[in-house]
Chain A
Amino acid sequence: MTRLEDSQWQGDLEQIKGLVTERALRGETMVLNMGPQHPSTHGVLRLLLELDGEEIVSCAPDIGYLHTGIEKNMEAKRYEQAITMTDRTDYLNNMGNNLVFCLAMEKLFDLDVPPRAQYLRVLLAELQRINSHLVWLGTHALDLGALSMMLYCFRERERILDIFEMLSGQRMMTTYIRPGGVWRDTVPEFEPAVRDFLSYFPARIDEYERILTENPLWRDRTQGIGFISAEDAIRYGCSGPTLRGSGVNWDIRKAIPYSSYEDFEFDVPLGQHGDVYDRYMVRIEEMRQSVRIIQQAIDRLPDGPFRSNNRKYVPPPRSVLGHSMEAVIHHFKLWTEGFRPPKGEVYVRVESPRGELGCYLVSDGGPRPWRVHFRTPSFMHLSVLPHLTKGHLIADVVGIIGSIDIVLGDCDR
């Protein structure tokens, strides 16, 4: 006997039955715990890996370490208060989370959104997409050994966060998008800051590509790894860059346009092989397309109101409270009991940086949402992880996790 008795599984085998194959129960393969405190799991994700040598036989993700009961909390808050909770689900897509919840509310209330607010929303959602992709690129490359990418990407991300701070007073938890429009109008420094970023950023994308795209080490670590076919990707509910990396042309911004995305010209980058490298290329190209969209949005940003004038849902501006009795009544009603939307159930999906972000909102006619459910892309993509990792080496697992771009706050909610 060469095997040390101490290294054997001491616990109850019943606990891991069904998660690993029969071979592990007989002791032929090794069961290894990865996470939840592991630098390359992008948060607190735990994986139960079954290994045959260095090869992955099975993988069982264990999530819920970041579950904060956001959906339950939202049921106890009024609609306007509940928006603040959405920021805290996916902490790299705050504007997008505000947007999907506000779109769901607007669909439920049948509320109009002025064109200026719609364009601003598109602009901010795309800035947020670049921000999220930058963090993804930095951490993904860091996981695979390209340490310098992290510094470059966070340098550029800081400029986006500065723009958010300029608008909303917050770098990350913005709550800037509100039902019927946005919280307040832009500040004078906003437009020059965005234009400055647009003139500065495209050259930076080329720089990232010079470091990685043709790099033989990067190609070795990413090409042919984490393959998923187009049929499987659809069957397993993949969306966003993970789906498009497999060559499926489905972008919600094109297929079911929301918030006036139909006014903008942009291409949907597609991969061919559905491996880690193609997903990388899709996201890099998406950053360029986002720059295009932001350029169009800032050039054509319409004048006019930034928030709806429907006083049943939108509070009146502070300036009219002094001379309009009606405004005072609306203000009082909205801030004491909130609004009472019609009964009904709506589902809205938007294209978040990670994929399809859906919000199912149920109203019982009261001032609080009866049920809010977020269909989050990270949740969906993590459930595909066993399929993606099967048969690959253990060193590739970190690359595959990086390539599906998970955010555990988004996953566990």
Chain B
Amino acid sequence: MTILDAVKSIETALPDAFERAYEFRGDITVVVNPAHIVEVCRYCRDTDGLHFDMCSGVTAIDYYPDEPRFALVYHLYSMRHNMSLELKVYLAGDEPVVDSVTGVYPSANWFEREAYDMFGIHFNNHPDLRRILMPDDWEGHPLRKDYPLGYETVQFSFNFDEVNKHKPYAKE
């Protein structure tokens, strides 16, 4: 079965979930309705001929200020048929919620935590949804486009006092 047959098979088996598919530079992406993502993943993993047994990773994207604002891309790979497929869901709003696929692909666990930490995307039924890279008490989600890229003034001997005044650490 080729990758195009696989896409066709998803389209016929799950018409509610399938939205569209496109190809760019040889990468096949299937856009999926976010309400059905777990169902589609399970279908991709368990169906003979598809057998996408490995989820390489999950990437979150912020298209701010466009709407729908967020997207999640699941990179699936089939060991048996040596083919890869990207599943993509678009999530609207500033506080997006989507079902976790950890039950189907355990490898998605930490990637979903990363998406939660960096983008503030909530995952239903995730076993352990905590921040992963940023400290637990961090405010905001750094990889969002409306989160500014911070910087620190370079400290030289002549501006030491001025720079030190703005340092966040507690002063006696």
Interface residues of A (CB under 8 A from B): 18-19, 63-64, 67, 69, 71-73, 75-76, 107-108, 110, 234-237, 239, 248, 250, 255-256, 344-347, 349, 356, 358, 360, 362, 370-371, 373, 375, 379-380, 382-383, 412-413
Contact = CB atoms under 8 A, between A and B. Distances in A.
Interface residues of B, number: 37
B33 interface: no
Given A347-B73, A375-B56, A383-B110, 20 more contacts: A18-B128, A64-B132, A234-B54, A234-B79, A235-B53, A236-B106, A237-B57, A344-B24, A345-B73, A346-B24, A347-B27, A356-B56, A358-B56, A360-B57, A362-B61, A373-B59, A373-B60, A382-B110, A383-B109, A413-B133
Given A72-B143, A358-B57, A362-B61, A345 B133 contact: no
Nearest to A382: B110
Q: Name the residue among B27, B29, B134 with the largest chain A CB count within 10 angstroms.
A: B27
Contact of A349 (B56, B105, B107): B56
Contacts of B29: 345
Interface string B18-31: 00000011110100
Contacts of A71: 118, 143
5 contacts: A72-B142, A73-B149, A237-B57, A237-B106, A239-B56
Q: Return the 7 tightest CB-CB contacts between A and B, nearest first.
A: A237-B107, A375-B57, A64-B133, A383-B110, A373-B59, A67-B133, A360-B59
Contacts of A373: 57, 59-60
A380 B107 contact: yes
A235 B77 CA distance: 11
A193 to B, nearest CB: 36
Contact of B59 (A73, A349, A375): A375
A256 B142 contact: no
B123 to A, nearest CB: 15
B11 interface: no
